[in-house]
Chains A and B, each alone.
Chain A
Amino acid sequence: MEAAHAHHGHQGHDDHAHGHPTGIMRWIKSTNHKDIGTMYLWFSFTMFIVGGIMALIIRSELFQPGLQIVQPDFFNSMITYHGLIMVFGAIMPAFVGFANWLIPMQIGAPDMAFPRMNNLSFWLLPPAALLLIGAQFMPGGGAGVGWTMYAPLSTQAGPAMDLTIFAIHILGISSIMGSINIITTVLNMRAPGMTLMKMPLFCWTWLITAYLLVAVMPVLAGAVTMTLTDRHFGTHFFNAAGGGDPVLYQHIFWFFGHPEVYIIAIPAFGVVSQVIPAFSRKPLFGYASMVYATASIAILSFMVWAHHMYTAGMPVEAQLYFMYATALIAVPTGVKVFNWVATMWRGSLTFETPMLFALGFLFLFTLGGFTGLVLAIVPVDVQLHDTYYVVAHFHYVMVAGALFSAFAGIYFWLPKWTGRMYNETLGKLHFWLSLIFFNVAFFVQHFLGLAGMPRRIPDYALQFAEFNAISTIGAWGFGLSQLLFLYIVIQCIRGGEKAPEKPWEGADSLEWTHLPTPAPWHSFETPPVLK
């Protein structure tokens, strides 16, 4: 992208304060998109650690058959909050952090459209996180209902369920405010010449994700509120004895839940679509088709929710429809995978840490996508439903997809954010450890699922022992590898080598071409004029 002016992006200015705020109030009152992005990312990492500890408790219990470490109720609670915390507390905020940092810089805007609302969006998260963690300490312990919170389990669970419902409401409010902010920013604050079809793909993916969030968050809020009123106010939405329908909850939840998968995955696509061209030293292959494919995936995500509930009972015609509709998602996803590969084709490839994680994403997400296709087939899913095959599938999508993409993005933009380079050797070590241990942890779960091991159980039959032991070793290895990531980031911030202005020669979006490194406190007060 070429610009008429290349040197006007970094004069200091703030509508609200004229010096740089310092101390704790800098963070509490911040309306600066970069500060808020940083807070989102640190919050996300903190919750990643909390959710990760829960995962390690689960895997440690499953290291051997029999009950070794925790009681079944606590195990179920860990299953619930590991899922909720990882989805709502770790992965979603991580990509909102990226959005905050990058969208204004990539479109040539000085900040987000509603900076104060941006601040509030973030500061709603810590109380919600405290409610989710605090739920463990309620009488009866945390709610052992799974992240899906199916009725009637959730309508009969202890008081921890009420805290969980409240936390979800708060997280939903935060998401809706964030989405309105992102949509308005992308559509209203682009620099002159930055047409929609010139935007970096990351901005496109977030625009589409924000649409998805606005569409589905009221559905989740309604679902948990109906659970609440069934629990305390005598309604019978999901109570068959009172004329309600527990399967209705499943329909409502998955109408939210399936788009939620793409709410997580689509920004990950955006990050990878920035990283792969940069390290291939080529423009993204098929930019327009990438935009249309992303939009198609988002639209299709509303039409496939019932593939999560083939076994809940539905007419065969509905099963056929949902099977074919689900398989259809492979088409736009295939377009994206093809375009990423075509971008690399005959490129001048180098394999720095961000590129390694992007390639890890590409291989493992594609594998997760294939197992998704397997699960889309009704007769197969009837066999594999609620087995470890499903657990393996969604961890390949969520961890190898979203988390690897987030790591790729962090290593890619860390020099821009901090002005310092991370240790490349340690970064590569982090990648290889993560890749190996991730596969040790989750690949064997496919075999466990195919052999019939149910998910969400603290004990299992003896024939599953070996693969469970291997999976637990992999999980611990993967978890401990993330401490190396924390060390790398802290070392980079505190004493990394000074980053050059443009450490990645193939990076071509505005934050690399028009702003100094590190990115200044305020950027693009005067919009760049792009040709």
Chain B
Amino acid sequence: MVGTVIAHPVFGPILEQEGAGFTYFRRHAGSFELRTFTLVFGSLALLSLVIAGGFAAAGAWLIVPFAGLEIAALLTAAAVFLRRAGDFERVAVLGDRVVVEFRERGLAEKFEFHRGWARVVTGKSGMPALRSHGRTVEIGRYCGDEGRQMLARALHSRLGGHRT
């Protein structure tokens, strides 16, 4: 894809294509690297185990189950984090097609609409959505209300429903 990356003040990086097309891309907020993440949570779990092991050796073994519970909590948090880590949303207008791709909680989905038929509507949850031929997909998962409005306006001006 050829284009210029623009750091948009409201909804972040947009890849403006030459011509009428455009691509909007947002990731789930996150600055962790997997290595840092493993190091941090691993060191916490290890510290907890070492302390519990020390006390168990002194006879206070009932600390061990609580350290175990805590490690389980850390693992749960890690699982939730990892499930969300690669989440993203991409909305692209490419020639006659409008492509919506997203990965939410680890599950990826992709929708394609005909640019001439797709309409920007308000979805069930209040977010903007694209609708065509009975299919509706909400967009703007990872931006705020203002960002969603701007995304909806940007799309509206590029779709078949646009009236000037």
Contacts and interface: CB of A to CB of B under 8 A. Distances in A.
A176 B73 contact: yes
Given A12-B144, A222-B63, A252-B55, A18 B70 contact: no
B88 to A, nearest CB: 15
Nearest to B45: A214
Contacts of A190: 31
Contacts of A374: none
Contacts of B81: 113, 184, 188
Interface stretch (B5-13, B94-102, B109-117, B153-161): B5-13
Interface string B45-74: 001100110010011101111110110011
B100 to A, nearest CB: 18
Contacts of A110: 29, 144
B111 to A, nearest CB: 20
Contact of B31 (A192, A217, A222, A223): A192
Given A11-B144, A11-B146, A526 B70 contact: no
A325 interface: no
Contact of B62 (A109, A114, A217, A229): A229
A114 B141 CA distance: 17
Contacts of B32: 184, 187-188
Contacts of B63: 218-219, 221-223, 252
Contacts of B30: 188-189
Interface stretch (A1-9, A281-289, A316-324): A1-9
B28 to A, nearest CB: 10
B51 A218 contact: yes
A18 B146 contact: no
A504 interface: no
A251 B36 CA distance: 33
Interface in A170-224: 176-177, 180, 183-184, 187-192, 194, 211, 214-219, 221-223
A525 B143 contact: yes
A478 B12 CA distance: 51
B147 interface: yes
A222 B65 CA distance: 8
Contacts of A527: 29
Contacts of B48: 214-215, 218
B66 A18 contact: no
Interface string A107-118: 001100110010
Given A214-B48, A215-B48, A218-B69, A252 B60 contact: yes
A513 to B, nearest CB: 16
Nearest to A229: B62
Given A4-B7, A11-B147, A218 B52 contact: yes
A491 interface: no
B117 to A, nearest CB: 27
A187 B29 contact: no
A528 to B, nearest CB: 10
Contact of A189 (B29, B51, B125): B29
Contacts of B51: 215-216, 218-219, 255
A74 B147 CA distance: 60
A235 B53 CA distance: 20
Contacts of B144: 11-13, 110, 522, 525-526
A226 interface: yes
B47 A18 contact: no
B37 to A, nearest CB: 7
A211 B147 contact: no
A11 B69 contact: no
A384 B63 CA distance: 32
B145 A13 contact: yes
A529 interface: yes
A244 B61 CA distance: 13
Contacts of B70: 176, 214, 217-218
A482 interface: no
Contacts of B65: 222
A222 B59 contact: no
B19 interface: no
B73 A13 contact: no
B80 interface: yes
Contacts of B60: 222-223, 226, 237, 248, 252
Contacts of A219: 51-52, 55, 63, 66
A18 B31 contact: no
13 contacts: A4-B7, A5-B7, A12-B145, A187-B31, A188-B37, A211-B47, A215-B44, A215-B47, A226-B62, A244-B59, A252-B60, A255-B55, A529-B7
Given A8-B10, A214-B48, A217-B66, 19 more contacts: A11-B10, A12-B146, A15-B141, A18-B127, A110-B29, A180-B74, A180-B77, A183-B44, A187-B37, A190-B31, A192-B31, A194-B31, A211-B44, A214-B74, A216-B51, A218-B48, A222-B62, A252-B55, A252-B60
| 10 A-B pairs with least C-beta separation | A222-B63, A13-B144, A525-B144, A11-B146, A11-B144, A218-B66, A18-B126, A188-B32, A221-B66, A218-B67
Interface of A: 4-5, 7-8, 11-13, 15, 18, 109-110, 113-114, 117, 176-177, 180, 183-184, 187-192, 194, 211, 214-219, 221-223, 225-226, 229, 237, 244-245, 248, 251-252, 255, 522, 525-527, 529
